[in-house]
Amino acid sequence: MRKFSLYMASICLLFGCEETIDVELKDAPPAYVVDAWINDKMETQVIQLSLTQPYFDSSEPTPITGATVTVTSEGKTFSFTESQSGSYTWDPATSTDRIETVGSRYTLTVNVDGNEFMAESELRRVPPVDSIKFTFKEERNAFQPEGYYAEFLATDPVGPGDTYWIKAIKNGIPLNNPFDLNIAYDAGFNEGGNIDGVVFIQPIQDAVTPLNEDLDEIVPYKLGDSLHVEIHSITHEAFTFLQQVQIQTQRDGGFDEIFAEPLENVSSNIMMMNENPDVQVIGFFNVSSVSGRGRKLTE
Amino acid sequence: MRKCMFLLAFLLSAITLKSQEKVTLNGYVTNVDDGEALIGATVYIEELKTGTSTNVYGFYSITLPQGEYTIQYSYITFNTLTQMMTLTTSTRNDVELTPESTELEEIVITDEALDANVQDIEMSAEKLDIKTIEKIPAFLGEVDVLKSIQLLPGVSSVGEGSSGFNVRGGGVGQNLVLLDDAPVYNSSHLFGFFSVFNPDAVKDVKLIKGAIPANYGGRLSSILDVRMKEGNSKKRVISGGVGTVFSRLAVQGPIKKDKASYFVAGRRSYIDILARPFLENGETLFFYDLTTKVNYNINDKNRLYLSGYFGRDVFRFDERQGFNWGNTTGTLRWNHLFNDRLFSNFSFIVSTFDYGFSFGENDLDKFDWNSRIVTYSLKPYFNYFINTNNELSIGGEATYYKFNPAEAVGVSDGVTQDISLNKKFALESAVYIDNTQKVNNRITLRYGLRYSAFQYLGEGTRYEFAYPNLGERKELIGSEEVSSNDVIADYGYLEPRASIRYSFGLSSVKASYTRTAQYIHLVSNTAAPTPIDLWTPSTNNIKPQVGDQYALGYFRNFGGGNAIETSVEGYYRTTDNQVEYVRGADIFINEFLEGDLISGEGRAYGIELSIKKNAGKINGWLSYTLGRSELKTAGINNDDWYPTRFDQTHNLKLFGEYKLSVKTSLSANFTYVSGTPVTAPTSRFEIQGITIPYDYYDERNNLRIPATHRLDIGVKWLPGKNRSARKVDDYFVFSIYNVYGNRNPFSIFFSQEDGRVVPGNPTETVANQFSIIGAPVPAISYNFSF
């Protein structure tokens, strides 16, 4: 729905106005946050543990130190050790075990401050990125200036129910604005779309050409730019989670606010195994297969 | 069902024939200037101290003993017509009333029958005639029906400029909006800044907030019944206006004098035309609508009316990309008099709403999406004037729905993918009976019963869902294909309606109970409805919404000729199966939409106060509503009650007009509305570099945005020295909307600052207040008719 937001932004110029204000929010105790997205790439895998902070506190999150973090799967144990405070890592180079085998289940266990948190995930299949294409386009309107527009080509394997997170890295910098979040259910936007076993639909392919910081114009690629596209397989639960993240974080204001959905807590697949009414845990655990391809824009 | 209706009709005519000693006086009441039927005109028999009023077609019928009578025909802002008649046989008496002269003089209403607000059984209803609507200073000077009704007690909106309206704490999708009997599925132009009703074409607007008569149904909270002009049957009149946003032109006149007339009115906005030299890529934003009507008096007993509306908004961003939406309605009505006392109407109605949405650079790479709802309805209606004390309505309704949620095609590198969703079909039907009975001078009763039924029909798919985690998406556990016209889900409800009026002196007390069932739902989980919201039928997974409303009111008039009308009404409504959404609901192009919709219960209650001064140099009204509107849904807000997004505690509207001279009048309106609630987080956390808001207490709508207030003023000025010698009846309207430039907040939202997060640099998160209009908006318009 990114294009729809753009349309809305243009009307906003006609009327609306927006200002940053001070709001009194309720005080709340911190909750544990588990950020555990690991994959089958041959690189150091990281799980971050931290605490929630007041909404207007923009300092770095407080790390949770001294936790025991383990991922197990079918007899294999991956021990994540604290390399920096709150950052728990496992390096495949130090082990013969691998995160592999599509269909295998993974369990995350975190023990901290006398609490035990657990989560499950499944490694799912991913199609290769077949190619990356840059097309030069003339200026078309105020939002689509002249330049090279990128798209990636990949085909969702036949059989419904594959879910993906497509990540784009431009000139070595991940495109990580909430509006860059690009997810797919089979080759389309959602389960009900029923688009299976074909090339990803155009808006998903196109989303690797990012918006500018003000979110009011697409920034095309220039000669010499590089783009790396990765497809991460994710579970259905993770897809739903990211859909919710999109709704909750893609707030560019303006006229769009008339059509804004209510703020809601996103889901979490981290379960607390012990009873403690004073403790809340949120976050997500997902294990991905990753495919990728990069290309530099030359003449 | 129709067979039954006809049988009943014949039965009723048989009864009529038996009454020998009594005679019936009936006919149509019209405006002498243009032949327009007058809705709700009073017919009063002085000798009997009783009377009746005309129905929506301007027809009346009253049955009395033979004798000599003084009959008064009256209608607000028209001169009362008094006739002496000796009635020995049943008599047809069509009358024409003359509008009061527009001269500046104190209008003294002496007619007792004009205290309709006190004496009528009707409560919780608001009537606005187009003359009043035209007086209200409007945004950008453009007179608007939907913005005007928001100045009435019990009516609100989620914020300035948003589309739709909320009545007594009900949702936008719980209002039935009728244009000449045709349901209008989306009533907004330009995202809600204006409504689809062309004021030039509107004759009468009635909003029923409670005590809904049994002939109406299908929505929970209100009925907005908009009636179009029939067209001047005396002479051709061309009228129009040039405004800031759009221009209007209307032509009406007789096809055959006093027999047939036509009406055509069009509007078009023209920002795009003015801005064209500056637009290079085909960007455009405009809307237009055409409202038209033809009617034909075949003979004394038969009249035909054909009316239609065609409107569209187009918003293009370049030549190939953009979206558009529009309504089309058509109504064919046949009024037939079976006999002196039995009036009938048969309506056949078609109504559609559709939108299209497309982007992509060429035919090899594009995405097109269209959605549509089409309905066909048939409504027989019988109005039987039994005697002076009883007026009976009997009728039915059958509507066939065709929902086309998505016709979508994606083309990628020349490869076409059809991602359309299946159509959905449904039949909604109802039969009703309703009687208004004058028990004595003090007590009038109105009681009715409506039975409505709904079938969700094939061809379609019956989905089965499990719902293990409350508030989270349901899981699909099975589906079954159902063939054409087979019933997938079946519902029926009895909807009793009852009102009582007890009058004493200049006062009356009225009470009512209304049960309503709603079978189709507006799927919209945003602050205000968008043009791309869908209507969806009740299914085996989505239950019909059912509401029960109780209202109690005290009505009292003051001053000579009831110069000041006042009322206080309280209401309490509970609803079942109110549509809510799971977390992260995906309502677009989603085959499994039913898995994202859940139901909760609702309650709304409040007190409405209204003071109106209808006549005099200074006239106007004050409306105040104290209200609450809440929902409770398992899995949301810790299963506790939470306010709706449009919940407003205080809502104060003040409108006044001051006639400065024959040529100049001033008007002003002031609005003060409590802030609506939004949801605020307590905390934030990070997942994969994305900062996500988090509410530790998991509450909904827990933060109130500040109250909003605004003053608008207008001046109406008639040019020319000698008005009566002027060929053109014309006037200018100068207005300023939001005179003191208040930045009225529409919402508060929480977001991270623009830009991408650089690893190691913390993300700033802020609260933003969004206002739609933050400055005074002046406007001028010129209106004419000749």
Position B14 pLDDT exceeds 50: no
Predicted local confidence at residue B276, as pLDDT: 66
Burial B266-283 (b: 16+ CB within 10 A, else e): bbbbbebeeeeeeeebeb
Non-local (6+) Cβ contacts of B677 within 8 A are B643, B645, B647, B701, B702, B703, B704, B705
Query: Where does residue B219 rank: exposed (0-12), middle (13-18), buried (19+ CB within 10 A)?
Result: buried
- Tell whether A154 and A222 lie within a shared domain: yes
How close B359 comes to chain A (CA, Å)? 8
For residue A170, what are its two tokens? Answer: 């431009």
Identify the residue among A2, A39, A232, A265 best suited for mutation to test binding to B, counting B beta carbons within 10 A and taking the highest.
A265
DSSP helix/strand/coil, A92: helix
Question: Is residue B775 within 8 Å of B705, Cβ to Cβ?
Answer: no
Sheet of A87-90: strands edge to edge? Answer: A271-272, A115-122, A105-112, A68-73, A76-84, A87-90, A45-51, A32-39, A281-288
Position B182 pLDDT exceeds 50: yes
Q: CA–CA separation, A63 vs A30, rounded Å?
A: 12
Beta bridge partners of B735: B714, B779
Query: Where does residue B644 rank: exposed (0-12), middle (13-18), buried (19+ CB within 10 A)?
Result: buried
Q: How far is CA B563 from CA B106, B336, B508, in A?
A: 11, 38, 16
Q: What residue in A sits closest to B703 (Cα-Cα)?
A: A25
Question: Is residue A227 within 8 Å of A297, Cβ to Cβ?
Answer: yes
Question: Is residue B79 within 8 Å of B463, Cβ to Cβ?
Answer: no
Question: Is residue B323 within 8 Å of B358, Cβ to Cβ?
Answer: yes
- Widest Cα–Cα separation across chain A: 62
The mean predicted confidence, pLDDT, of chain B is 87
pLDDT digits (tens, 9 = 90+) for B520-535: 999 887 777 777 788 9
Predicted local confidence at residue B271, as pLDDT: 73
For residue B340, what are its two tokens? Answer: 């002196």
Position B104 pLDDT exceeds 70: no
Of the listed ranges B208-212, B379-383, B450-454, B742-746, the one predicted with least confidence: B742-746
- Tell whether A162 and A222 lie within a shared domain: yes
DSSP helix/strand/coil, B204: strand
Predicted local confidence at residue A4, as pLDDT: 41
Average the pLDDT over B503-524 and give the result: 93
A2 — pLDDT class (breaks 50, 70, 90): very low
Sign of dihedral through CA atoms A267, A272, A275, A278? negative
Q: Are strands A32-39 and A45-51 parallel, antiparallel or unpaired?
A: antiparallel
- Tell whether A217 and A139 lie within a shared domain: yes
Question: Is residue B271 within 8 Å of B288, Cβ to Cβ?
Answer: no
How close A266 comes to chain B (CA, Å)? 7
For residue A282, what are its two tokens? Answer: 């949120």
Q: Do A27 and B591 touch (CB under 8 A)?
A: no
Cβ neighbours of B622 (radius 10 Å): 18
Closest CA to B650 of B707, B604, B611, B571: B707
Q: Do A176 and B592 touch (CB under 8 A)?
A: no
Average the pLDDT over A30-46 and give the result: 95
Residue B139 has φ and ψ, to the nearest 5°, of -60, 125
Q: CA–CA separation, B567 vs B553, rounded Å?
A: 7
For residue A274, what are its two tokens? Answer: 């012990």
Residue A257 domain-assigned (yes or no): no
Give the residue ranges of DSSP H helices in A161-282: 202-206, 236-249
Q: How far is CA B558 from CA B219, B443, B561, B649, in A?
A: 35, 21, 8, 29
Residue A24 domain-assigned (yes or no): no
Q: CA–CA separation, B152 vs B145, rounded Å?
A: 12
Non-local (6+) Cβ contacts of B20 within 8 A are none
Q: Do A202 and B360 touch (CB under 8 A)?
A: yes
Q: Do B317 and A15 touch (CB under 8 A)?
A: no
How close A255 comes to chain B (CA, Å)? 7
Domain region containing A268: 32-124+264-288
- Tell whether A206 and A236 lie within a shared domain: yes
B162 — contact with chain A (CB < 8 Å)? yes
Position A7 pLDDT exceeds 70: no
Q: CA–CA separation, A25 vs B678, rounded Å?
A: 12
Position A127 pLDDT exceeds 50: yes
Residue A145 domain-assigned (yes or no): yes
For residue B234, what are its two tokens? Answer: 């005396």
Per CB-CB distance under 8 Å, the chain B contacts of A7 are 315, 317, 322-323
Cβ neighbours of A275 (radius 10 Å): 7
DSSP helix/strand/coil, B417: strand
Predicted local confidence at residue B756, as pLDDT: 62
Predicted local confidence at residue B35, as pLDDT: 87
- Tell whether A98 and A69 lie within a shared domain: yes
- Tell whether A39 and A142 lie within a shared domain: no
Predicted local confidence at residue A16, as pLDDT: 57
Average the pLDDT over B232-252 and give the result: 90
Quick one: CA torsion of B10, B15, B20, B21, rounded to 10 degrees? -130
Question: Is residue A69 within 8 Å of A80, Cβ to Cβ?
Answer: yes
The tally of domains found in chain A comes to 2
Closest CA to B532 of A4, A209, A247: A4
Position B49 pLDDT exceeds 50: yes
Per CB-CB distance under 8 Å, the chain A contacts of B362 are none
- Tell whether A171 and A206 lie within a shared domain: yes
Q: CA–CA separation, B102 vs B662, rounded Å?
A: 9
Position A239 pLDDT exceeds 90: yes
Give the residue ranges of DSSP H helices in A91-222: 202-206
Q: Do A187 and B767 touch (CB under 8 A)?
A: no
The distance in angstroms from the start CA to the end CA of chain B is: 48
Predicted local confidence at residue B495, as pLDDT: 97
For residue B5, what are its two tokens? Answer: 């209706």
B280 — pLDDT class (breaks 50, 70, 90): low
B775 — pLDDT class (breaks 50, 70, 90): confident
**How much is the CA Rg of chain B, to the nearest whole Å?**
27
Q: CA–CA separation, B753 vs B764, rounded Å?
A: 6
Of the listed ranges A177-186, B129-138, B601-610, the one predicted with least confidence: B129-138
Position B108 pLDDT exceeds 60: no
Position A11 pLDDT exceeds 60: no
Q: CA–CA separation, B266 vs B250, rounded Å?
A: 6
Q: CA–CA separation, B675 vs B770, rounded Å?
A: 13
pLDDT digits (tens, 9 = 90+) for B409-447: 877 777 777 888 899 999 999 999 999 999 988 999 999
Predicted local confidence at residue B768, as pLDDT: 83
Position B448 pLDDT exceeds 80: yes
Average the pLDDT over A244-257 and give the result: 76
Position B19 pLDDT exceeds 60: no
For residue B711, what are its two tokens? Answer: 């003053």
pLDDT digits (tens, 9 = 90+) for B627-662: 999 999 999 999 999 999 899 999 999 999 998 888
How close B189 comes to chain A (CA, Å)? 14
Place of tokens 């209007």: B248
Non-local (6+) Cβ contacts of A162 within 8 A are A124, A125, A156, A185, A186, A233
Average the pLDDT over B53-81 and give the result: 89
Q: CA–CA separation, B695 vs B699, rounded Å?
A: 7
Residue A60 domain-assigned (yes or no): yes
Q: How many H-runs (helices) and E-runs (strands) does chain A carry?
A: 3, 18
Question: Is residue B711 within 8 Å of B670, Cβ to Cβ?
Answer: yes
Position B127 pLDDT exceeds 70: yes
Residue A172 domain-assigned (yes or no): yes
pLDDT digits (tens, 9 = 90+) for A171-197: 998 888 888 899 999 998 887 777 889
Predicted local confidence at residue B278, as pLDDT: 62
Question: Is residue B434 within 8 Å of B446, Cβ to Cβ?
Answer: yes
Predicted local confidence at residue B776, as pLDDT: 85
B666 — pLDDT class (breaks 50, 70, 90): very high
Predicted local confidence at residue B300, as pLDDT: 87
Position B26 pLDDT exceeds 50: yes
- Tell whether A117 and A61 lie within a shared domain: yes
Instruction: Give me the percent of chain B exceeding a pLDDT of 90.
Output: 52
Identify the residue among B583, B703, B742 best suited for mutation to test binding to A, counting A beta carbons within 10 A and taking the highest.
B583
- Tell whether A220 and A111 lie within a shared domain: no
B774 — contact with chain A (CB < 8 Å)? yes
pLDDT digits (tens, 9 = 90+) for B346-360: 999 999 999 988 877
Is the whole model's pTM more than 0.95, yes or no?
A: no
Q: For residues B104 and B635, which has the higher predicted lDDT (pLDDT)?
A: B635
- Tell whether A113 and A183 lie within a shared domain: no
Residue A83 domain-assigned (yes or no): yes
Q: CA–CA separation, A107 vs A97, rounded Å?
A: 15
Residue A225 domain-assigned (yes or no): yes
ipTM: 0.91
Predicted local confidence at residue B114, as pLDDT: 53
Residue B769 has φ and ψ, to the nearest 5°, of -110, 130
Predicted local confidence at residue B281, as pLDDT: 66
Q: Do B682 and A26 touch (CB under 8 A)?
A: yes
Cβ neighbours of B415 (radius 10 Å): 12
Amino acid at A245: V
Average the pLDDT over A48-76 and give the result: 93
Q: Are strands B618-632 and B650-659 parallel, antiparallel or unpaired?
A: antiparallel
Residue A3 domain-assigned (yes or no): no
Q: Which among B526, B645, B773 has CB closest to A15? A: B773
Q: What is the DSSP letter of B13?
A: H
Question: Is residue A40 within 8 Å of A289, Cβ to Cβ?
Answer: yes
Average the pLDDT over B81-90 and give the result: 90
Amino acid at B705: I
- Tell whether A113 and A136 lie within a shared domain: no
Of the listed ranges B10-19, B544-553, B698-707, B766-775, the one predicted with least confidence: B10-19
Q: For residues B363 and B478, which has the higher predicted lDDT (pLDDT)?
A: B478
Of the listed ranges B187-201, B287-301, B327-341, B690-704, the one predicted with least confidence: B187-201
Amino acid at A263: L
Of the listed ranges A85-89, A287-291, B337-341, B517-521, the one predicted with least confidence: B337-341
Q: Do B770 and A254 touch (CB under 8 A)?
A: yes
Question: HSE (CB half, 13 Å, CA atoms) of B197?
Answer: 31
- Tell whether A246 and A137 lie within a shared domain: yes
If phi > 0 it is left, if psi is from -120 to 50 it is alpha, else beta; for residue B194 that is beta
